[in-house]
Structure formats: C-alpha cells, structure tokens
A and B are shown apart, each in its own frame.
Chain A
Amino acid sequence: SQQGEEDPQALSIQEGENATMNCSYKTSINNLQWYRQNSGRGLVHLILIRSNEREKHSGRLRVTLDTSKKSSSLLITASRAADTASYFCATVLTQGGSEKLVFGKGTKLTVNP
C-alpha cells in the first residue's frame, strides 16, 4: 500500500533554479521523511520532520509539513546538476509494536547545467 504520493512525477529545471516537490499522505503520522536516490543506487536520508513541526531546514533543503492537509513539500534552493536524482517522501506506520517505512512513487528531478 502506498502511503505517500509525490507530485510532480518528473521535474526538469536549469541549474540555479529552485525545485519544489510535493507529497500527500493518507493517514495520521508521527513524522515524515524525505530520501534521495541516485540512479541505480540505494536511498539516502535527507531530512525528517515531526508532526508537531511546520518547517525544517538543512543546508539548501527546506521541508514544510501541513498535517491539516496531509501534505509536505521539499524545496531545493539554488539547484546544481549534482542534485539530479529521484526524491521520495516516506511515512512511518506503526502496527502492533512494529514500525515500517512506507514510500511514495517519487519525483524524478533533472537539473540541467
């Protein structure tokens, strides 16, 4: 079952521009996480935002969370060609004491030099 859905599915921008990706989810969450995946590689954790936080920054990354709309956005400022990758949002589902991370389908970002 997919919890998060990213939008857009693909995004192509020029180096130096900002990139915004959105994520919507279905159920209540404790936190929402964003990951990056370079082509053919594993995922790298970028940032985690808790349900009681509205905005979080890490370097050129800014994440917002709106729990009333069940949505989050990831903003990458002053993009670089090296930011080209797929970006996934993920939420934690807890069932019977077990925790699992559920991913959306991702946004494929291309930053053109």
Chain B
Amino acid sequence: DGGITQSPKYLFRKEGQNVTLSCEQNLNHDAMYWYRQDPGQGLRLIYYSQIVNDFQKGDIAEGYSVSREKKESFPLTVTSAQKNPTAFYLCASRGAGGLKYGYTFGSGTRLTVV
C-alpha cells in the first residue's frame, strides 16, 4: 500500500543535540511538507518542498533544516538552535491529484526534550 512513513514514532532529545526526523513516501508525490503541532493547537508549517533539490521556509523555520535529495525522502533536522522543540511533528505530501484527494499525512513523530 502506498503511504507516508514517519520514524521514529517517539524521539527524545537532550539539550544541545541535533536530531533528525525521517519522512519517506512511496506515493510518487512531488510536494512534501513538515508541520509542527503543539497541544491543543493547529498545524504550523515548518518547511516545504515542491520538487527535488528545492525547498522553502514555512512560517516557523527557525531552528530547523531540511534536505530533499530524493523524491521519496524529506528529512527534518531539529537543531540545537530550536529552543522549544517539544512537539508533535507531521509530514505530508501532495500529488498531482491534490485537488481531489487532498494531502496525505504520516502518523507523526512525538519529540520530547529531556
């Protein structure tokens, strides 16, 4: 079955560490997105990529970095510069049928600073 896989499901980070969240899709979608969700809040856009080797900052990009070397993969690195990284992180993708099918989301990674 096609879909988006996020790993790990839970991640713990020590102060000052960089951590990388994985997002892989086998839907052949061009566009991929990273969102952050805080408790009781909506989703805020961190970074997005419309095609391979290209990405744009979203609304809250500070303290995060991404790469898009392959169509299938869009990893997110939470750097030590992100002062409040504890949150639920969601990856999404959109194909050419986005107007009909909407965006497809992964099941999320919950990051906690310890």
Contact = CB atoms under 8 A, between A and B. Distances in A.
Chief secondary structure at chain A's binding surface = strand
A44 B107 CA distance: 10
Nearest to B110: A40
A31 B56 contact: no
Contacts of A100: 33, 45, 48, 58
A75 to B, nearest CB: 19
B103 A45 contact: yes
Q: How large is the interface on B (under 10, 10 to 19, 20 to 34, 35 or more residues)?
A: 20 to 34
Contact of B42 (A44, A48, A50, A104): A104
B101 A88 contact: no
Nearest to A108: B40
A24 to B, nearest CB: 13
Contact of A101 (B6, B40, B92, B110): B92
A59 interface: no
Contacts of A31: 99
A76 B110 CA distance: 29
Interface string A1-36: 110000000000000000000000000000101010
Interface in B24-79: 31, 33, 35, 40-45, 48, 50, 56, 58-59
A22 to B, nearest CB: 15
Contacts of A103: 35, 42-44
A35 B85 CA distance: 25
B43 A88 contact: yes
Interface in B1-19: 4, 6
Contacts of B88: 40
A40 B108 contact: yes
Contacts of A40: 88, 108, 110
Question: What are the 9 closest A-B residue pairs judged by CB atoms, nearest first?
Answer: A45-B102, A42-B105, A105-B42, A103-B43, A103-B42, A43-B105, A42-B107, A33-B102, A98-B50
